[in-house]
Amino acid sequence: MTNKMWGGRFAQGPSAIMAEINASIDFDKRLYAQDIAGSKAHAAMLAKQGIITKADATAIRKGLDEVKAEIDAGKFKFSAALEDIHMNVESRLKELIGEPAGRLHTARSRNDQVITDLRLFTRDAIDQLDAGLVDLLRALAEKAEAHAATIMPGFTHLQSAQPITFGHHMLAYVEMLSRDWGRFADARKRLNENPLGSAALAGTSFPIDRAMTTKELGFKSAMRNSLDAVSARDFLLETLAAASICAIHLSRLAEEIVIWSSAQFRFVKLSDKFTTGSSIMPQKRNPDAAELVRAKPGRILGAFMALAVVMKGLPMAYAKDMQEDKQQAFDALDNLALAIAAMAGMVRDLEPNKDILRAAANSGYATATDLADWLVQNVKMPFREAHHVTGRIVALAEKKSCLLSDLSLEEMQAIHSGITKAVFKVLTVEASVASRLSLGGTAPSNVRRESKRWKKFLKGK
Amino acid sequence: MTNKMWGGRFAQGPSAIMAEINASIDFDKRLYAQDIAGSKAHAAMLAKQGIITKADATAIRKGLDEVKAEIDAGKFKFSAALEDIHMNVESRLKELIGEPAGRLHTARSRNDQVITDLRLFTRDAIDQLDAGLVDLLRALAEKAEAHAATIMPGFTHLQSAQPITFGHHMLAYVEMLSRDWGRFADARKRLNENPLGSAALAGTSFPIDRAMTTKELGFKSAMRNSLDAVSARDFLLETLAAASICAIHLSRLAEEIVIWSSAQFRFVKLSDKFTTGSSIMPQKRNPDAAELVRAKPGRILGAFMALAVVMKGLPMAYAKDMQEDKQQAFDALDNLALAIAAMAGMVRDLEPNKDILRAAANSGYATATDLADWLVQNVKMPFREAHHVTGRIVALAEKKSCLLSDLSLEEMQAIHSGITKAVFKVLTVEASVASRLSLGGTAPSNVRRESKRWKKFLKGK
Amino acid sequence: MTNKMWGGRFAQGPSAIMAEINASIDFDKRLYAQDIAGSKAHAAMLAKQGIITKADATAIRKGLDEVKAEIDAGKFKFSAALEDIHMNVESRLKELIGEPAGRLHTARSRNDQVITDLRLFTRDAIDQLDAGLVDLLRALAEKAEAHAATIMPGFTHLQSAQPITFGHHMLAYVEMLSRDWGRFADARKRLNENPLGSAALAGTSFPIDRAMTTKELGFKSAMRNSLDAVSARDFLLETLAAASICAIHLSRLAEEIVIWSSAQFRFVKLSDKFTTGSSIMPQKRNPDAAELVRAKPGRILGAFMALAVVMKGLPMAYAKDMQEDKQQAFDALDNLALAIAAMAGMVRDLEPNKDILRAAANSGYATATDLADWLVQNVKMPFREAHHVTGRIVALAEKKSCLLSDLSLEEMQAIHSGITKAVFKVLTVEASVASRLSLGGTAPSNVRRESKRWKKFLKGK
Amino acid sequence: MTNKMWGGRFAQGPSAIMAEINASIDFDKRLYAQDIAGSKAHAAMLAKQGIITKADATAIRKGLDEVKAEIDAGKFKFSAALEDIHMNVESRLKELIGEPAGRLHTARSRNDQVITDLRLFTRDAIDQLDAGLVDLLRALAEKAEAHAATIMPGFTHLQSAQPITFGHHMLAYVEMLSRDWGRFADARKRLNENPLGSAALAGTSFPIDRAMTTKELGFKSAMRNSLDAVSARDFLLETLAAASICAIHLSRLAEEIVIWSSAQFRFVKLSDKFTTGSSIMPQKRNPDAAELVRAKPGRILGAFMALAVVMKGLPMAYAKDMQEDKQQAFDALDNLALAIAAMAGMVRDLEPNKDILRAAANSGYATATDLADWLVQNVKMPFREAHHVTGRIVALAEKKSCLLSDLSLEEMQAIHSGITKAVFKVLTVEASVASRLSLGGTAPSNVRRESKRWKKFLKGK
């Protein structure tokens, strides 16, 4: 079949394999709303500038609305012979409104059309991710507030190091995800520039008004170099990098949920909403959703890498290689949105098992650091010496198989005479976390204050 | 909606987000043929071993054929509530044959079912890639033979270094792609092991005969550790790595085709079959297919990376993370097959422009190395000294703006008296390539012999 | 050998393989300046808060200066037995000043020390990259201004599409690299938070003043969650992602330089400063520097990917996995700095070959689009019809083997009677570029204005 | 400083930045042994073919031995001005033996020299990895044999699914790593081809004997296309892909060791040899080595990706981009060797905690599947019905808070009358694993047989 767009110059149609590798309509049809919005803005501008008549512009805009309604309603017949969304829309427009459709493409090219669509799409996707992130941040901040004083072990190397609070742990993710949120905001700001009006690559001699389309399409400003406008994909790479980093953050919490849900940890319990089970093994609560969230960085990093490989060493301006950008973007951003939503659901759903968490925090002489710090602060010994004394006291407790707080004052004084009964105030896990009042520390009062601060901050979003 | 498979233990159904993130039927339905083949082999084995009756096995196998026919014909209704291809098939089987369907799942689990399907699929995909590669290798070998004596510049740093033949250049890709072919063959051999019979992860107490399913499914042998069988994805990583390397090879030739098709190079011409044009710029022959092939390593490497990220640090045995493997595999292997086919088409289609290629080879004193080598061989000067003399002769030709072969014997002798008229035999590009008779060298006679050797080798494939 | 730091609890020293895999001093010694700066700030704060005496703080700070002087001078003996830079510095400090050295580690841990060092290092590295980018932007803006009217072909698919100016092409890279610059600025802003004071992971009970160390170390604010502070590496991932994108931009220009330097293109000439040659082939000007810049995205993307893989699914808080972050960061940021510097040198060095560029721009009916646009604007025909008429005129020129501007008015009018002699004003490449006056278009006046704007903007940086 | 190699043609020396980006001696000096071996083989061949005299060849080979001895002894002064290892060696050779050194480079070029070095290096590195893998496989097989009957929970989703044996778990890694071993063997076979004799890219007119150098350097055969020989890097990509996959396997076991070492799991205990501790928290046994092994896939995948990005779309033949290959190869292969050695040490070191493992396996109704299978086999009910009955029995046990084996026969018969006392034979974890006798199943007898088979197989390696 002869491709309609290239006119009569090509004696033969493209071979079947060429048609298959070349057509993009299967995936770029997803850009129809953005494509039509761009065309509507372009038509209005052409009319305002006197490049087409107002009547033509009105016909075009009305026709485009009709096309969009057809696609919205699932009634549009996409044609692979028309290759891409741009030609599918224009071709249908021509059927609907006739000759004026032929004027729409004045002073623009598919090159700036495709990039306009993709920037609008990415902006929309970021807006949806932001909404998802705000919801997740809320879920985390609420869980943090509810568990501001729930004690759990703070791990290094998956070994209990010091007691912390569950709320503090949740707030760590609030911090990480709020930076992700900031990265998306920065990416959005940077990409929100209007490429439309760059034409094929050199700009145009028509007296277009790029400020007008910039405004109508909600862009911040017009891109200032036509070659750059049609060639650059850094906006997408930046967005995919931000998505990758966000997905990595989610995967860290997901891994924790998987570990915490094990029969050995039992730190938290997820309900049936986010687990699957076995018809014959009632104890099985497979954290499938957490595992899937843990896995998502794979495909999102893969998408980033895919686009990076495509763009590396690609000369100016447009090359067909760039057609590979869309599927990666769609898949990565869809999956991140899904992962964020699933995580918000899990955070709300999970119930910390307070008794088990406290017992875990209380094992392993987790307040040894508190004892050492007490010695430094109260007995005024240098840090390294305090550690030595602490080591001996811990060894005694270990020998007696008791907690540090179960030792008698005399036993401790036998090791260092400067120890007073005031030491007992720092040896419990409650005392330990309560004492971590330094800015950013795990003290319940800190956690409460930070949770409130975040909830307030998120209220307006 | 309550998920049917987990039985009554879960009071609530999974939340909507869970259903969305968890279901795989949208993509794993592609495995239906493999899934049904695996089930048929399993049923036959169960009957032979007396675990189910022969009548049940016959009913099951007949029913499965019916299910397959329905799917082949596009009449099957896939259900997202049934989550995956395994349950969709089994559920329909039950509708078709009733009670015996409930015996099919004896002595197996979804875990070994999914991995059996995926190994069968990957094996099939490799077989298709191999066929594509053989066709491409043939196209290259034929083009090489046809252009065994077509002279072109051999580049280093995209600068002409020495004359070579176009056929020699084609054969370089034959070598690369034949190694790709070997990698796929090795991957196929290594993956062609039967996981079926591993059950959930521990094997089974049923007296199954894994040798029988191994044989029926065309596997080489049965996997010898059930835990490994359900947990490993190295076979897919290896296949995707081989695919990535192959795609990189194709991208190198694609880049050359793009450069060679430029107005500045005009080394080759692609027909309308593999180019797109502009309705108003007749000279434009955009090598879209070559650009798309050049871009394909992006998504294929992305798929490898995606799966690698998923598998990194994943504990035994099955985890839901692994569900992310399929889409990556499908996309990467489909796209490689497409790229191979497009490249075979382009290789057959492209016509080298002999005059331009020879002229390019003849410029830049490309036979200076031949002169230096002649001095070493005939005047017996050390290599480094011969280079010095050659440098002076080239400088003279440069000053006179002529080719080396245009200098007179006297002019050369003025620089070194040992030079004789025999030197002229090595100064033309034809002489140069003809002299490269070392094994692997570019001499037309070598190229002809190698082309024939490859064509013969490929005949039986 | 027994490791000194873990005290006497470990009966056996770590095995040789453990020592080899565990030690980081070989690479983290590079952080010595940051480590010492952090320790000095910490000591001053401890004294101000009364946690240590002023005398101790003075001794510590003086001692640390001495340690730094020794390392600066290359006289410091690094010890693998002391594992890392932190212990190497502290151990030497103890030798120099004795007991007060033991008080330095009060109210902090290696966990917050290592992350403080790495944030300071990354901030420093970004500052150096920024300086390099500013220099490169200047080089590009100057080259753009100098060649605001130098005509060259604008390519799509490496096929000449429309005439542009060399300056416009340079400015495209100014736009891209200025966004890279913005990305680094955003990354710097986001990472410039003080983790010091987070202690092991939970904060501390000592009355530390994090605002003070924040100020002394030039951080914007203190991190608000101790767990996040020691666990997060998103700041490094973001920086490496920005570096990857920047390297991709550089690789695109590098690829162009390689192609432009070929004998077939001869669009630009690089001097001996940035090429290597052959002792016997004078025409060879191998663009080695451009090739190396083109290759750099490999290792930089590799570093991003490496760190992403490490961080994916890593539970809170510190895990030894994170030790893998530093070498990747060092290698990637060093290589990007080198690539930026090399590119700045090449941009200044390269000389466009105006005659060849213009001739290339003038071939292939590159002003066909101008003709079509003229028909739309002046003969008022719809865009698609204008393309049809243009196609016929081009076909005539092609048949006559002449430029569009060489056709007579009569010949054109024979194809469409509405054409007037005014058409000739748009058919030359000079007219074509001059007419692209739309914002962002390639018109020399636009290029001049933009170059000036950028030069002015860069002046203050 | 003028570069000596390019002779006098370049008026200016390369700029400082060019020198810095271009020189490779800092890293390629590591190839000195391979470079000298290649040169010795080349010299011997040149003499045998009468291209140089036997006396020259003897002088060259003796001189090269001397150079190697100097480098071995750390006495060689590497010069950055001489750029790379090839020129450093040749330059020193000239100092040592004078004029004959100038004949060594006859009939070869740096292009085939560098690739010969790199193939030899990669082959050597694979041989070392193979030795490491054999040692690790032995450690795993021995541990498997020692714990053929040590019962532990088999996990899916980190939830206990069925009892398995610790030996079975170890053997799963034997299977994975033996496939890695096979991949390296395949890569070695494929790369063990001789590129030497390809000269710059076109072969040579000298009557060289490539079979002779092939034999002397231990290659299997000579590469049959000179262009391919100097351009291909698939051998390195394949090796790095195999290394990546192997590192992923190691990371999975490493993750398990980290989880198993936690206070919550306590499945295994690592000694001081492979853990670090805290001077004041005696229970802390940080599994640093396991964490570092878990992290290693990062940099190894990063290296693969780096080289893939470099090679993608790179035209024939040699381009300077390829210089980026070596550091990636060195770093990745070194780190994999280290990770393998560390894992072998950990596997030998780790002690499974039998009581805890058995208790974990015995919880959660892990033999419910055995009960269901017993019902199918003995009461002849369909699989799906057996699951229903099992679910009811498990619910009863759950209600009574007892193990399945603690229920009375009457209680079970009340649920299904077909149950007999024979059922108790399958309800203990010991019975469960013992019954998994299917090929590849976890039965201790299987594990013992497989362990022995592997140990026997490994004996000869």
Identify the active-site residue in B221, B262, B278, B363: B278
Strands B221-222 and B193-194 come out as: parallel
| CA count, 13 A, side-chain hemisphere, B415 | 21
Query: CA angle at residue A181 from A177 to A187, to 5 degrees?
Result: 140
Angle (CA) A198 A202 A204, round 5°: 65
* D14·C286 Cβ contact <8 A: no
D15 has a pLDDT exceeding 90: no
Distance separating alpha carbons of residues C354 and B62, to the nearest angstrom? 76
The answer to which of A250-259, B180-189, D170-179, D379-388 has the lowest mean pLDDT is D379-388
List beta partners, residue C164: C152
CA-based nearest distance C380→chain B, Å: 18
Q: Residue A410 and residue A429: Cα distance in Å, rounded?
A: 22
Give the integer Cα–Cα distance in Å for D336 and D122: 13
Summarize pLDDT for C356-397 with one digit per residue, the tens.
999 999 988 889 989 999 999 899 888 888 888 998 999 899
Contact A391 D160 (CB under 8 A): no
Shortest CA distance to B127 belongs to which of B192, B185, B182? B185
Q: Which of C3, C320, C345 sits opposite D15 (nearest CB)?
A: C345
All residue ranges of chain B with pLDDT < 70 are: 1-14
Would you call D278 a catalytic residue per the annotation?
yes
Q: Is C168 in Cβ contact with A226 (below 8 Å)?
A: yes
Confidence at residue A110, expressed as pLDDT on a 0 to 100 scale = 92
Angstroms from C34 CA to nearest CA on chain A: 22
pLDDT at A277: 83
Task: Give pTM, 2 decimals.
Answer: 0.96
Residue D385 CB partners (closer than 8 Å, separation 6+): B102
Active site residues of C: 157, 278
Structural contact between residues D163 and D153, judged by C-beta atoms closer than 8 angstroms: yes
What's the pLDDT at D14?
59
pLDDT of residue B283: 73
- Residue D364: pLDDT band (50, 70, 90) is confident
- The reported pLDDT for the residue numbered B382 is 83
Q: What ranges in B49-104 are assigned the alpha helix state H?
A: 54-72, 85-97
Separation in Å, CA of A163 to nearest CA in chain B: 27
Q: Are strands A351-352 and A268-269 parallel, antiparallel or unpaired?
A: antiparallel
Question: Which residues in C lie closer than 8 A to residue B285 (C-beta atoms)?
Answer: 159
Catalytic residue check, B271: no
**pLDDT number for residue C381:** 86
pLDDT reported for residue C460: 81
Q: What is the residue-level pLDDT of chain A in tens, covering all 461 positions?
A: 334 444 444 444 467 888 888 889 999 999 999 999 999 999 999 999 999 999 999 999 999 999 999 999 999 999 988 999 999 999 999 999 999 998 999 999 999 999 999 999 999 999 999 999 999 999 999 999 999 999 999 999 999 999 999 999 999 999 999 999 999 999 999 999 999 999 999 999 999 999 999 999 999 999 999 999 999 999 999 999 999 999 999 999 999 999 999 999 999 999 989 999 877 777 788 999 999 999 999 999 999 999 999 999 999 999 999 999 999 999 999 999 999 999 999 999 999 999 999 999 998 888 998 999 999 989 988 888 888 899 899 989 989 999 999 999 999 999 999 999 999 989 999 999 999 999 999 999 999 999 999 999 999 88
| Cα angle: C48, vertex C51, C57; to 5 degrees | 60
ipTM: 0.95
Say if residues B112 and B196 touch (Cβ distance below 8 Å): yes
Contacts of B388 in chain C (CB under 8 A): 279
Which residue of B112, B190, B205 to mutate against D (max D Cβ within 10 Å)? Answer: B205
CB nearest A190 (choices: C9, C163, C182): C182
- Triad D400, D405, D408: Cα angle to 5°: 65
Predicted local distance difference test score (pLDDT) of residue A9: 42
Residue D16: the pLDDT is: 86
Quick one: closest CA in A to B300, which residue?
A: A306
Do A295 and B324 count as a contact with CB atoms less than 8 A apart? Answer: yes
Is C309 in Cβ contact with B263 (below 8 Å)?
Answer: no
pLDDT higher than threshold 70 for residue C3: no
Residue A443 near residue A175, CB atoms below 8 Å? no
Lowest mean pLDDT among B269-283, C56-70, C95-109, C441-455: B269-283
CA B159 from chain centre, in angstroms, equals 29
Q: Which residues of A touch B12 (CB under 8 A)?
A: 271-273
CA D115 to the chain's CA centroid: 22
The gap between the terminal CA atoms of chain C, to the nearest Å, is 52
What would the two tokens of residue B75 be?
A: 């009449």
Distances (CA, A) of D275 to C11, C216, D357: 12, 36, 21
Minimum distance, in Å, between the CA of residue A46 and any CA atom of chain D: 41
Q: Tell me, what's the pLDDT at D10?
A: 42
Task: Compute the average pLDDT of residues C4-29.
Answer: 70
**Per-residue pLDDT at D382:** 83
d(CA A39, CA A89) in angstroms, rounded, equals 10
Decide: helix, strand or coil at residue A119: helix
Rg (CA), chain B: 31
pLDDT of C461: 84
- A301 with B305: Cβ contact below 8 A: yes
Looking at residue C6, its pLDDT comes to 41
* Residues of chain D contacting C339 with CB distance shorter than 8 Å: 21
- Under 8 Å between Cβ of A345 and A287: no
Residue C120 vs residues C117, C188, C227, C236: alpha-carbon distances, Å: 5, 10, 19, 11
Give CA–CA dist B213/B197, Å, rounded: 9
pLDDT at C14: 60
Distance to chain C for B319, nearest Cα, Å: 14
- Token duo for residue C160: 């000449």
Cβ atoms within 10 Å, residue B399: 8
> Residue A345 and residue A340: Cα distance in Å, rounded?
9
Tokens representing A392? 């001996």
- What's the pLDDT score for residue B14? 59
Residues D174, B225: C-beta atoms closer than 8 Å? yes
pLDDT digits (tens, 9 = 90+) for C221-253: 999 999 999 999 999 999 999 999 999 999 999
The string of DSSP letters for D26-85 reads HHHGGGHHHHHHHHHHHHHHHHHTTSS-HHHHHHHHHHHHHHHHHHHTT-----GGG-SH
Name the band, by pLDDT with cuts 50, 70 and 90, for residue C53. very high
What average pLDDT does this structure show over D403-420? 94
Contact assignment for D306 to C293 by CB distance below 8 Å? no
pLDDT at position B55: 97
Residues D202-217 have a mean pLDDT of 97
Least confident of B244-258, D109-123, D393-407: D393-407
C-alpha angle with apex A185: A179 to A188, nearest 5 degrees? Answer: 145
Residue D248, both tokens:
């992923």
Closest to D366 in 3D by CA, of D56, D120, D58, D156: D156
